[in-house]
Structure 1
Amino acid sequence: MGIDTLTFSQTLEQAGFKRAQADAIASGMGKAAAELVTTADLNAAMDRMTIRLGGFMAAALAISTAVLGVLVSLN
């Protein structure tokens, strides 16, 4: 997610901030905005977790089936 720091700084100046103050605030906001997580980032992470969970469930089912097969063959 990006922020137009130049426009933001100009807006702050028009609101009465000194140029140095406006530039510093805009720069800080730009750096903070770079660290924000987007909806697309969250969706991608959820997709990866869903795939991992599916893999774990498939492995657990395979192990359970194998154990059940061994138990049935013992009787």
Structure 2
Amino acid sequence: MQSYRYTGELHSIKYNQTFKADETVLQFKPDKDGLSGFRFTINGDDDVRFKQQRKEFYERLGINIEPGQKQGMKLH
């Protein structure tokens, strides 16, 4: 699969954020275990790596982004 170099902005619908890209390499790679059979990579990293980097960044700021136990009232 051919890679594509891109300079500009990438918008994440999932996170509702726009990211600046400078000579970024975009590519679809085969993924036998994935639902679609492909995985999308940016500079060779897939979304699993980005999620890990995001989590580490927030942890350095002292923010826990792990889904915790939902709190609320229970009505019996």
TM-score for the superposition, normalised by structure 1? 0.26
The structure with the largest strand share of the pair is 2
The structure that has the greater radius of gyration is: 1
The structure with the largest helix share of the pair is 1
| More relative contact order, 1 or 2 (CA 8 Å, 6+ apart) | 1
TM-score for the superposition, normalised by structure 2? 0.25
